Each structure stands twice: as structure tokens, then as C-alpha cells.
Amino acid sequence: MRLLDAYIARNVVLATLAVVMVIVGLDAIFALVDEMDELRGGYQFPQALQYMLMRLPRRAYEYMQMACLIGCLAGLGSMAASNELTVMRAAGVSVWRIMLAVFKPTALLMALSMLNAEYAVPYLERSAESMKLIAQGRSEVDYNRGKGYWHREGQQFARFGAVDPNGVLFNVSLYNFGAERELRSVQYAAKAQYIDGAWQLQNVRELQITPEQTLTSSYKTQAWPTSLTPRSLNMVVYEPRDMSISDLYSYSAYLKNEGLNADRYLASFWAKVNQPLGTFALVLLGISFIFGPLRAVTPGFRIFSGIMVGLVYKYAEELLAPISILLGFAPLMATLVPMFVCAVIGGLLLRRAG
């Protein structure tokens, strides 16, 4: 039985890896073409190619669910076309035993994917963006294209006009409020640097506001007491999808403690945590297709069906995440609903097959 499991696993893994290479490769080529519009300064084709290569792990992670589904359909489909699955069934191997043999390599791929999402993707994404910004030689005020970033801590609201890849803040504005939400003071600083475990504001203008008068002061340097660190700064600056699972969890907890809405980060957290379960649900659906509706169709149609099902699942999950934020239901449901639908359909089809 071990030989049978190893044979099934080899077919599924090889097919999945081939699918990952094709999908990620095509997506990377299109991304490289898009980067041609970004060429300026020292950021030329070699740098754009490096930027694209550094972002491959993220693309592999994003397409892993679809790749596992298509790999299952292709691997088991080739065995069904050569009547190997029929021989296994005739020898007394149940459909559920074959399903277990497929789940084992899928679990290994999911473990590698989770490690990729936790360690490789956040580091490489930040390094890639840093390399691109430095190579393009953008000015301080253009580091994030004028969007600005907001951070709240207690009764203080901070805005950063731009963030250097090395953690230096530019155009810092600090708004301090009292217990009754009245504005107490405003501080403007051209730059903030993290030195010896503390932030130092540079070229500061401070506006003290009282019911009687308003006082203006200027300082060359001024300490900024805050729990914000260069590491936690990454949580403020980068998109949730580029953050590790542990960072998403800790930052969501921080936002809740501050009384802020953490749904965007929780939605991304649950999507990453539940990716293995969602992949198992898709693979279950793929196995049910092989023993059911797609048993006698061509390999091309199986792959096409896998792509369509994978896209529907991916878009359903991505649409439910913002819907959960708008309607106020738990972000966890955004990942559980499509997963539950796939598992139920797959289970019913497998039960009918055998």
C-alpha cells in the first residue's frame, strides 16, 4: 500500500509543480512587461528582472490553491485515462483510500506554502520594494507617491508623508487630543529617525493649543515617546497580504486594544490561516470530479474545469472579504463559506461515486 501511495503522490506532486511553474511563469512575464513603464533612473531592465524574481514566492503562494486543484485533476486524470484507477478499484482500493493518498502530498505542499507565506514572502516583498525605490532614486516626498500613512496610539494620531525603506519617516505630523477629544497640540517634523531604541524628531514646529491662547515653538530635535518600532512600522506601511501570519495576528490585536477596526487585517489573517483547509476542500472537489463528472472527458477539459473552479473559489473568497467588512459579519466567514460549499459538493459527489 505504501508503494501505491507513493505512486499516487508522485503523479499529483509532479503535476502540481508543473502547474505552479506554468501559472507563476506566465504571471511573472506579464508583471515584467508592466514593469517596463516604471523604468527610470537606475531602475532599468536588469533591476526590473530582479524585482520580478524576488516577487516569485508571493505569486507561488497566491496560486498554490489553484495549482493543487489542477494538479490533482491532471495527476489523477492521467491515471484514470490509462485505467489505473479502475484497476485500483477492482483490487479493492476504495475511493476514500485514494483520497487519503492524495491528501498526504497536498499537506506537504501546504506546509511549505505556509512557511513561504510566514518567512519568505514578507522579507522578499519588502526587499523588492526597497530595491526598486532606491534604484529609481525617488525624492523623499515621493516615496509612497503622496498617499501618506496614519497611525494611532492612545489619544495621539500620527501621519507620515513618506517612509524610507530603511525605516526613516518624512513629513511627520502628530496630533494630540485630550480626554474630551479636544485638540491639545500639533507637532510637525521634517524627519524622524529611530536612534538607540527611540524616535528622534528633527526640525520640529510645535503648536500648543489652550482655551486662552495658542503657543508656537521650534526645536532642532525632540524625542517622540511611542511604542512604534521599525518592525511595527512595517505593519503600518505594508499591505495586509504582504504581512506574515504572526504580524497580522499581533497587529490585529493591537488595533482592537486601541479601539480601532481590524477587519482588513483579520480578513487577511484568516485567509492565510485557512488556506490549507481551503486547499483540501478544493482537492476533495477535484477528486470527486475525477470519479464523477470528469471521469471520461479529455485532459484539456479537466484542466479547463480546474482553472474555472479555482478562479471561482479565489474570486468568491476575495469578494467576501470586503463584503464582510461592509456588512459587519466576521471576516472568518469570508473563508469558511466557499470552503464549506466546496467540501459539501465534493463529499456528495464522492459518496455517489463510491
DSSP string across 43-96: B-HHHHHHHHHHTHHHHHHHTHHHHHHHHHHHHHHHHHHTTHHHHHHHTT--HH
Q: Give me the residue spans of the domains in the chain.
A: 2-136+264-353, 155-226
CA atoms within 13 A on the CB side of 306: 34
Q: What is the pLDDT along the chain (354 residues), one digit of tens a residue?
A: 788 999 999 999 999 999 999 999 999 999 999 999 989 888 999 999 999 999 999 999 999 999 999 999 999 988 988 889 888 988 888 888 999 999 999 999 999 999 999 999 988 988 888 788 778 765 433 444 445 788 888 889 999 887 775 668 888 999 999 988 899 999 999 999 998 888 999 999 999 998 888 899 999 999 999 888 887 777 777 788 888 999 899 888 888 887 878 888 999 999 999 999 999 999 999 998 888 877 767 778 888 888 899 889 988 988 988 888 888 788 888 889 999 999 999 999 888 876
CA distance to 150, 177, 219, 278, 338, per residue, from 107 (Å): 39, 50, 58, 12, 19
